[in-house]
Structure 1
Amino acid sequence: MAKDLVQLQQIKVKKCRRIEEIIRDDKSTPKKIIFPQLKTITIKSCSVMTCFYLGTFALECPNLKEVKLVSCAKMVAFASTVSNQPQVVNIGDGYSEILAKDTSNVSAKPFFSDKVSLPLLKELTVEDMGNMERIWDDQLEINSFSKLKHLEVHSCVKLSSIFPLNVQGRLQRLKNLQIVECASLEEIFEPEITEAEINIKFVFPQVTYLNLYKLPKLKSFYSGVHTTEWPLLKKMDVYRCDKLEIFASEYSSSHETQGLHLLFWINKGTFPCLEELRLECNATMKEIWHGQLPEGYFKLKVLELINFPALTVLPSYFFRSLSDLENFCC
């Protein structure tokens, strides 16, 4: 049937409590499933749905711009080869036995695999997806997600990280990154196990807004040695991240930062355009800044500190770096 829907532009499925998948392979299925005109997919509150597409072939949506997935507690993959349907087995003498599918290991698989091609996807929202443990595969279709501009991950309680390390090169067009209420999240980028410790440079050339909210286990951006650059970032909000210290200079001594859970290591190129910064204090935080800071480094116009016990958390040289500050709330 999918091969006949060449003009289909929108799929929207809401509160369908018996649907397990939208598309399933059948005998007439070609070796590739293509929706040439599909632009948006919205799936919301489908309590037994396990995947969008169930089958063994590649799924291509060459013009898909937006995907929104909300409150589908059993959904473990966008495209899956595993069915929840019971298997009927002939055991002889005219009798058959129904065997339940073992799907206990399905949730360990990435939600988007290398069999999915989404080369023009610009907006991705995943919210309240209780079985999602990994969003992306280590190996993706060559052009998938390279146009992504908006990513919002909300209330995905099993995620321990957002990105595998090799996805970073696909985020060059990302403008808006929001990660909210992910109770198990420990890092933004998952660690890569290597024998040699390599200093990795993360560059987000288009991101203008970063929001990290209610991430009680978040410890770091990336646990390995790294630097980050956000040349166009203008607004950053960090609320209720209970284990985090926020900033440290790349020139900070190991004695100063030992045992700290630092979100960002700062150098001259990290936040050259940051104008609005909102931070909420936590029980772990003794300072929001560790190490020296050049005068005039930040271009902040708005600084809002929430639940900070005293201004002693801010060294004097931090304020000397805020020559453009217009609005300060504490």
Structure 2
Amino acid sequence: MNCMQVVLPSLEELQLCWMNVDIKWLTLVSSFCVKKLKKLIIQGFDNLVFLFSSCVARGMVMLERLEIRECKRMREIIVTENAEENENLIFPQLNHLSIEDLHNLVAFYLGNCIVEFPSLEDLEVLNCPELKGFTVKYSESTSCIVDMQTLFNEQVAFPNLKRLTITHLKNLEIIWHNKLYANSFCRLISLKVENCEKLSTVFPCTDILGKVLKSLEVLSIYRCGSLEGIFEIAEFNVKQTHAVIDTKFKELNIEGLPRLKHVWNKDPQGTLTFHDLESVKVSCCGSLKNLFPASIGKNLLQLQKLHLYLCGVEEIVTMGEQEAGAIVSFEFPQVTSLKLEVLPTLQCFYPGKHTTMWKMLKKFYFSHFNLVKEADGRGQLDFPVRLPLFSTKKVQFVS
């Protein structure tokens, strides 16, 4: 069939699966089909090196959903037609983008243009082990990739992105460049990172803290073998920003991070607040010695669940310089479930003088003695404690 005869001007949905076709055929067909196309799914094209050209991409103004899966040879999604082109690539209506099992993918776009996704809400980048970056600059003069240190840089715009999932990117070391496109990631609600073995930190000391943490509600990090820190705030200076960042952070899930040394590398001392935090679940983090800095631990008024399992934690809340020698009060008026299981090095809740109040606590799981206890009708617990985790003079369980 002559591909120049394929004309589908009203096509809105196109799904092509498990076909071995020539790349020119697919590109030319796309150029006749894209103007009203809203949904495009490509799966199992073993001979496909790229999906469409930059010219075709600019015509996809109505596209709302794009899924590309299991294309073994695909190196890039969009290929540039002119190394000198400088017109931005814009997908004005795209709200869902999923890239999965593309084992030779280097980048979504390999070129020098800015790629904009003004409406994108969901982005999934799953099992693309050779990915160098979402957008990567390419030098024709040297025939090599330029600046491939981070997954996202200033060359791509996600002003409305709400959910981001990243899994099985074996070469990923840094997620965010210290310079991002204006307003990118400022509405991100959920971030999930899984099986990225070289990733060293999630939020480095850059303006990404100010962008992402204003909106982020759920953070899930699983099985990243090299990860040593999550919130790197040592260089974050409230005097420079002239503002305190009140985060909307509600849920933290971390599991299988054997080298994790800290969640917060430094006490933010009010420059970042986590007043809305509701659930914290941490498991299989053998190098983690403590969980909360003092300024955060004292202000968890919305916390409902705190679960720790199989970690190297020695204390739940660490002592800050300002608290040394003082009696610190901790109140957890919303906590209903507290689980501290298989924590062989746990010594105390807080190393200094302190009091704690747990008004709503119903279930307390404590593994040093394989003990599972439920609070009685008055919200009180009665259990043996060998280590000074809780002292009866320091802790109150009130229903």
| Same amino acid, percent of matched pairs | 27
1:42 aligns with 2:69: no
Q: Give the corresponding residue for 1:307.
A: 342
C-alpha distance in structure 2 between counterparts of 1:138 and 1:311, whole Å: 37
Deviation at 1:305, TM superposition (A): 1.2
Q: Give the corresponding residue for 2:134.
A: 78
Structure 1 counterpart of 2:257, one-letter code: L
Runs of 5+ unmatched residues, structure 1: 90-98, 248-262
Higher RCO structure (Cα 8 Å, ≥6 apart): 1
Against the structure 1 CA distance between its residues 147 and 199, is the aligned structure 2 distance closer, same or farther, given a 3 Å change threshold? closer
C-alpha distance in structure 2 between counterparts of 1:197 and 1:276, whole Å: 30
Structure 1 counterpart of 2:314, one-letter code: K
Give the TM-score normalised by structure 2: 0.66
Q: Give the corresponding residue for 2:286.
A: 242
Deviation at 1:216, TM superposition (A): 1.1
Q: The residue matched to 2:331 in structure 1 has which SS?
A: coil
- Within the candidate set 58, 65, 80, 2:121 is matched to 65
Q: RMSD of the TM alignment (CA)?
A: 3.2
Structure 1 counterpart of 2:150, one-letter code: P
Q: Give the corresponding residue for 2:52.
A: none
C-alpha distance in structure 1 between counterparts of 2:318 and 2:234, whole Å: 26
Number of corresponding residues? 297
1:233 aligns with 2:277: yes
For the pair shown, which has the larger CA radius of gyration, 1 or 2? 2
Deviation at 1:61, TM superposition (A): 0.9
Q: The residue matched to 2:303 in structure 1 has which SS?
A: coil
Q: The residue matched to 2:58 in structure 1 has which SS?
A: helix
CA deviations over 1:53-81 (Å, ceiling 9, x no partner): 11111111111111001110001111111
Q: Give the corresponding residue for 1:215.
A: 257
Q: Give the corresponding residue for 1:279.
A: 308
Q: The residue matched to 2:188 in structure 1 has which SS?
A: coil
Q: Is the 8 A contact 2:300 2:331 kept in 1?
A: no
Q: Is the 8 A contact 1:189 1:222 kept in 2?
A: yes
Q: Give the corresponding residue for 1:324.
A: 360
CA deviations over 1:94-133 (Å, ceiling 9, x no partner): xxxxx9x556x854x1111101111101110000111111
Q: Give the corresponding residue for 2:37.
A: none
Deviation at 1:202, TM superposition (A): 7.7
C-alpha distance in structure 1 between counterparts of 2:260 and 2:65, whole Å: 36
C-alpha distance in structure 1 between counterparts of 2:364 and 2:235, whole Å: 42
Instruction: Tell me whether 27-36 or 126-135 shows the greater mean CA deviation.
Output: 27-36
Q: Give the corresponding residue for 2:61.
A: 6
CA deviations over 1:192-251 (Å, ceiling 9, x no partner): 679x9989998453221111111111112343452342111111101111111224xxxx
Deviation at 1:264, TM superposition (A): 2.8
Structure 2 counterpart of 1:18, one-letter code: R
Q: Is the 8 A contact 2:264 2:293 kept in 1?
A: no
Deviation at 1:308, TM superposition (A): 3.3
1:117 aligns with 2:157: yes
